[in-house]
Amino acid sequence: MVKSDRAQQIGEAIKRIQDQIATAAVRAGRDPSEITLVAVSKNQEIEAILAAYEFGLRDFGENRVQEALTKVSAVPADVNWHFLGQLQRNKARKAAEFAALIHSLDRPALAETLNRIGAEQGRQIAVLVEVNIGEEPSKGGVYPDQAVDLVEQLAGYAHLAIKGLMTVAPLVAQPDQARPFFARMRELAVKIAELKLPNVAMEILSMGMTGDFTAAIAEGSTLVRIGEGIFGPRRQ
């Protein structure tokens, strides 16, 4: 089958990003297989997602529950969905249903709701705690000086599995300018891991987007979230 130009472009972009991930990992003395590539498919049509799937990607990220649900049923079932957006408590149940990992837990009230849903379903819901590492009022996430306290509170929830931390770093002109933020994230994760809290494992550091993923990998990212780098500029 002759692939459409759009699919072709997506395939080439994936290859390019994968090469850049591998190069950044090796440069940091890391094994590229430690790093999961999540394709951020918000605002993208199903065809684009299917093209990325054809080129081997299985992890996709969305930031709106409603939009995600229309896509989930249209792609093969072996896709791992990641929920990346700010989550309202009244959408928590749906998010927990489709997402293999919720990246944006940032407050006790949401944790309580998710824990209750997990309890009803007799399982643990996998989450990351979102940290607003640049302390930007416009962004979600707990401020870094409150992150340890928050994780300690959440550790009491038996139906949450806290798998690590996530951040959206401040916008920078050059990836390397984001390195100090990512380094601080890693320090936070190490500090939390040392507490050996129940239900808490600092296995995943979700950090790095199209503009800064090489810097994030240099500082220990295990999961990068790439939208425009794969799909091209988003229509708003």
Ligand X SMILES: *Cc1c(COP(=O)(O)O)cnc(C)c1O
Site map for ligand X, 11-40, x if CB under 6 A? -----------------------------x
Choosing from 63, 124, 167, 214, the residue that interacts with ligand X (CB under 6 A) is 63
The smaller minimum CB distance to ligand X, of residues 177 and 197, is found at 177
Nearest distance from residue 5's CB to ligand X, in Å? 21
Count other C-beta atoms under 10 Å from residue 46's C-beta.
Answer: 12
Residues 115-134 contacting ligand X, CB under 6 A:
none
Which amino acid would we find at residue 1? M
Least distance (Å) from ligand X to the CB of residue 122?
30
With a CB cutoff of 8 Å and minimum separation 6, the contacts of 144 are 131, 132, 133, 135, 184, 188
CB of 1 to ligand X, least distance (A): 28
State the nearest-atom distance from the C-beta of 162 to ligand X, in Å: 18
Binding residues among 196-235 for ligand X as defined by CB under 6 A: 209-211, 225-229
Query: Which CB, 108 or 211, lies closer to ligand X?
Result: 211
CA 148 to chain centre: 20
* Cβ–Cβ < 8 Å for 35, 223: yes
- Of 152-171, binders to ligand X (CB under 6 A) are 168
Residue number, 142 or 209, with CB nearest to ligand X: 209
Smallest distance from ligand X to CB 229, Å: 5
Residue 197: exposed, middle, or buried by beta-carbon count in 10 A (0-12, 13-18, 19+)? Answer: middle
User: With respect to ligand X, which residue has the nearer C-beta, 30 or 43?
Assistant: 43
Q: Which residue has the tokens 């996709």?
A: 60
Q: Which residue, 33 or 236, has its beta carbon nearer to ligand X?
A: 236
Helix ranges restricted to H, the chain: 5-27, 46-54, 65-72, 92-98, 108-121, 144-154, 179-194, 213-218, 228-231
Tokens read off for 189: 């994760």
Inter-CA distances, 202 with 97, 99, 126, 151, 208, Å: 23, 19, 12, 11, 17
Q: How many residues bind ligand X (CB under 6 A)?
A: 13
Q: How far is the CB of 160 from ligand X (least distance, A)?
A: 20
Site for ligand X contains 84 (CB under 6 A) = yes
Catalog residues that contact ligand X under the rule CB under 6 A.
40, 42, 63, 84, 168, 209-211, 225-229
